[in-house]
Amino acid sequence: MKPVSDTAVQRAYQVRIALFLISAFIGIFLLISIYRGIATLDTLDQTERERDRWQRPGDVIQALGLKDTNVVVDIGAGAGYFALKLSPIVGKHGSVVAVDILKEPLLFLCIRSFLRNQWNIHTIHGLPNNPRLRVGSADAVLIANTYHEFTQPRSILDHVFQSTEARRATSHSRPCAPIGCGGIP
C-alpha cells in the first residue's frame, strides 16, 4: 500500500475544517432566519389584533356578499390580513386566491395559513399590470388598502372584471370591493 503523504493529510484536514466552518455558517444563518421569521409572525399577529379595532373587517367581508363555495380574490393580499379572515367564510369547498407582486408577504401568508390549517388559500405572484387570474374564475374580488399602490390600475381592473365575468350574472356576491386605508366608508 502506498503511504499517504503529509501534504495529503494536511489537505484533507483543511477541507474538513472548511466544511465544518461552512456548515456552521449555514446553520447560524438558518437559525437567525427562523428566529426572525417567528418574530415577524408574532408581530403580524399583534399588529393585526390592533388593526381589528378600527378596520371593521367584518363589515368589509359582509360587503362582498360571499357564500360557502365561493372563490374570492384578494388583490394586494400582503401577509394575509383579509385572506385569512376570508378563508372560513368561503369554507373548504371555496377558495381564497391571494395575489401580490411581492413574494415575501406571500411566503408569510403561506406559512400562516399552514399553521392555522387553512388549506383553501392559494397564492399568485402577480405582475404590476396583471394579477394573472383566469377569466371567469372568481366570484368576488377584494382590493383593500392597495389601489393607491397600483402603477397600472386600469389594466388591473380590466383583468379583475374579466375574472368575475362569467359568474357575475349568477352570483349574489359583489364582484369588486375596493376599500381604502380608512376601511369601508
Ligand X SMILES: C[S@@+](CC[C@H](N)C(=O)[O-])C[C@H]1O[C@@H](n2cnc3c(N)ncnc32)[C@H](O)[C@@H]1O
- Whole-number minimum distance, CB 19 to ligand X, in Å? 39
Q: Which of 84, 133, 156, 176 binds ligand X (CB under 6 A)?
A: 156
Q: Quote the CA–CA distance of 151 and 128 in Å, as a whole number.
A: 7
Q: By CB under 6 A, is residue 78 in contact with ligand X?
A: yes
Residues 6+ apart with CB under 8 A from 117: none
Among 61, 66, 101, 160, the residue binding ligand X under the rule CB under 6 A is 101
- How wide is the angle at C-alpha 52 spanned by C-alphas 74 and 60, nearest 5°? 45
SS3 for 72-102 is EEEECCCCCHHHHHHHHHHCCCCEEEEEECC
Q: Does 150 bind ligand X (CB under 6 A)?
A: yes
Decide: is 124 part of the binding site for ligand X (CB under 6 A): no
Q: Does 86 bind ligand X (CB under 6 A)?
A: no
8 A C-beta contact, residue 75 and residue 159: no
Tell me if 178 contacts ligand X by CB under 6 A.
no
57 binds ligand X (CB under 6 A): no
In this structure, what C-alpha cell is assigned to residue 11? 489537505
In the set 61, 77, 109, 176, which binds ligand X (CB under 6 A)? 77
Residues that bind ligand X in the complex, under the rule CB under 6 A:
75-78, 81-82, 99-102, 105, 126, 128, 131, 144-146, 149-150, 156
